[in-house]
Amino acid sequence: MDVLVIGGGIGGLTLALALHQANIACRVYESAAELKELGVGINLLPHAVSQLADLGVADALLARGIETREVCFYTSHGQFVDRDLRGRFGGHATPQISAHRADLHSVLADAVRERLGREAIALGHRCVSIHQDARTVTAEFVDSAGNARPAASGTIAVGCDGIHSVVRRSLHPTESETQSYGTTQYRGVTMWRPFLTGASMVYVGTYETGKLVAYPIRNQADDQGRRLTNWVIEIAKSGAQRPDWDRTASADAFIGALEGWSFDWLDVPAMIRAAQTILEYPVVDRDPLPFWTDRRITLLGDAAHPMLPRGSNGAAQAMLDGQALAKALSASDDPFAALAAYEEERRPATSRVVLANRDAYPDAILRVVQERTQGQPFADIDDIISPREREEWQARYRTAAGFQKAAS
């Protein structure tokens, strides 16, 4: 069996490692001409880190990133609402890791090249079409200038080519575009002083008036003790509908709503203004697909189930996809049966996450507090929302995301 992995992002590289572990031949075809440090931060939930541990790369990532201790929730006035311990601090066997997306990608790419060979990742191969016959599936490619590359054939092909997937479009040519929820995210990274425990993730406010997510992503500090800190601002604002991770923006587009957010533990406007680059991304997803697979072709990750960029679910679900697909292929000599088994396991599970991510995201608790206080400061959080109800909100998110808290 020979697998064409179309796309060399997190999902595609994780799949390649899982296939190699299962003694299944594969090659990764990536559109970029070179692997560069792109993107911003990423937070990997315990079940995602468990997948990396199974592939033998979790320790390499943890050596670069931050082991997240807790997620804390604050109102836009900086008032504390709740704390949820995470990873090994919350009773899980594996850590929760915050890292730069480029560091995760580098760890995965290095492992693929070391184990599968330097030629296992074919750069400068953008898939433009895919077709199949009774015996093989064939993908056609061009380079960055649009010049034809040699086609590649295999037993099966897996579309790991993201939210704008060519492979997905070949299976669903009449599918509508992504749907917007009327909010936009602005993302950046800043060298900043540690806040709270130094390994905390924070959510502040709600997107109606401006929401912040912030957490450190690299453990190496500079000579002033600052660490690279990832931040995301989500605000009610319609923006560009096409989600492209490299669209830049200015802080002037959104910072006015956050000018008063200078708390004793974090000066939000100052941190944002200190970022070298700010990226703009519309908050969009797509409805779950009725099928992922057509004979020798299937989908994985964002190509299969693009979801709202909230709650650290996207990369985790792609990793789970990869492990499930490798397991299904190793269990059957019939590629059609294997792909059917993979889809039967993963499509319903990811569909539930896509839908739950629309209203069961981790900071939904802050919307409850916002509504009950009408946005005003409170004297005691227990008068607004009880400890039991706060834990119910956290448990609801953990269940939706698939990393239920370990029993005590």
pLDDT digits (tens, 9 = 90+) for 198-232: 999 999 999 888 999 999 999 999 999 999 999 99
How do strand 200-204 and strand 70-74 relate by DSSP bridges?
parallel
Burial of 343 (0-12, 13-18, 19+ CB in 10 A): buried
Going through 219-324 in order, the beta strands assigned E by DSSP cover 227-236, 248-249, 278-285, 297-299
**CB–CB of 219/64 below 8 Å?**
yes
Domains of the chain: 2-41+105-177+289-356 (3.50.50.60)
In whole angstroms, give the CA distance from residue 244 to residue 294: 27
Whole-number pLDDT of residue 310? 73
pLDDT, tens digit, for every residue of 258-306? 989 999 999 999 999 999 899 998 888 889 999 999 999 999 999 999 9
Predicted local distance difference test score (pLDDT) of residue 179: 77
Side chain identity, residue 222:
D
Q: Which of 153, 406, 408, 201 is nearest to 311 (CA)?
A: 201
Residue 366 pLDDT: 94
pLDDT of the residue at 244 = 67
pLDDT score of 407: 47
* Residue segments in the chain with a per-residue pLDDT below the cut of 70: 37-38, 238-245, 311, 360, 404-408
pTM exceeds 0.75, yes or no: yes
**HSE-CB for 205 with a 13 A CA cutoff:** 22
What six digits make up the tokens of 168?
């997905």
CB 126 within 8 A of CB 31: yes
Distance of alpha carbon 252 from alpha carbon 266, whole angstroms: 20
| Percentage of the chain modeled with pLDDT above 70 | 96
Residue pair 17/57 in contact (Cβ under 8 Å)? The answer is yes
Burial class (CB within 10 angstroms; exposed 0-12, middle 13-18, buried 19+) of 8: buried
